[in-house]
Structure 1
């Protein structure tokens, strides 16, 4: 499976000179906890809600301070065509929770730890679904003699 199968698209982006208050508004409107910081098509970094809270407001910066003051850069990325195993290894190696996804140098998505977790849960549900339904169809109580399942 590829990164492109699990990543969130399109990425929500902000310019480095945009104020922190605008970045916060954009996060709230988009329902995301991070924004890619892009300038002239090039990825400059990433800013998270935690960056704004801790480095920005907690650091005494004003809401009008440019996003550039609190971004995390350089940023670790994965390629849209990378196998998910590469993403797992990158998350494990770096300890980050979000990876911008690039295609020919352009930001095309974001892959998060949560995306991978949900993918694993979906796969587990697909695998266990038939087993769970067969268990639910069995009548309550001890299994019949011989241990064979009783079909209704």
Structure 2
């Protein structure tokens, strides 16, 4: 199965110029912990609730701080025509639970999560990816510092 068959479409995108308060409100409304950041029709980053806390609040930055100042700039992504199994393996290796989905023109067309894939019948592969994600280490690990 291709990722396009199980991704979430119509993804809301934050602007790098918006405040982290606005991004947090979007997350609240969407019941999501991550929002792609776009500028001039291009994906330029991702902002997570964790980015707001660690790169914002913990560093003494206020709610009017721009998304650009706390977002993750290095964006890992997948393509909409990739096979689910390949993307799940990549998610496990990268230790991420969600990936933005781009078309081959590198335009954002969706977002896919481990949960999306598990709900679409890929439970064994999703479990294997989650096992990789849960391994010690990685960018967001408490043992990495």
On whether the aligned pair clears a TM of 0.5, the verdict is yes
Unaligned runs of 5+ in 2: 125-145
**Counterpart position of 2:119:** 118
Q: 1:69 and 2:63 equivalent? A: no
TM-score, normalisation: structure 2: 0.79
**Counterpart position of 1:6:** 6
Q: CA deviation at 1:76?
A: 0.7
**Counterpart position of 1:126:** none
Q: What is the CA deviation profile of residues 64-94 of structure 1, one whole-angstrom value per residue up to 9, with x for unaligned ones?
A: 0000111112111111111101211210121
Structure having the higher Rg: 1
Distance between the aligned counterparts of 1:69 and 1:58, measured in 2? 13
TM-score, normalisation: structure 1: 0.75
Q: CA deviation at 1:121?
A: 7.0
2:117–2:123 Cα contact (<8 Å) kept: no
When the two chains are superposed, the root-mean-square deviation of aligned CA atoms in Å is 1.7
How many residue pairs are counted as aligned between the two chains?
123
Ranges of 4+ aligned residues in structure 1 off by more than 3 Å? 120-123
* 3-state SS in 1 of match to 2:61: coil
Q: CA deviation at 1:54?
A: 1.9
Distance between the aligned counterparts of 2:72 and 2:32, measured in 1? 16
**Counterpart position of 2:108:** 107
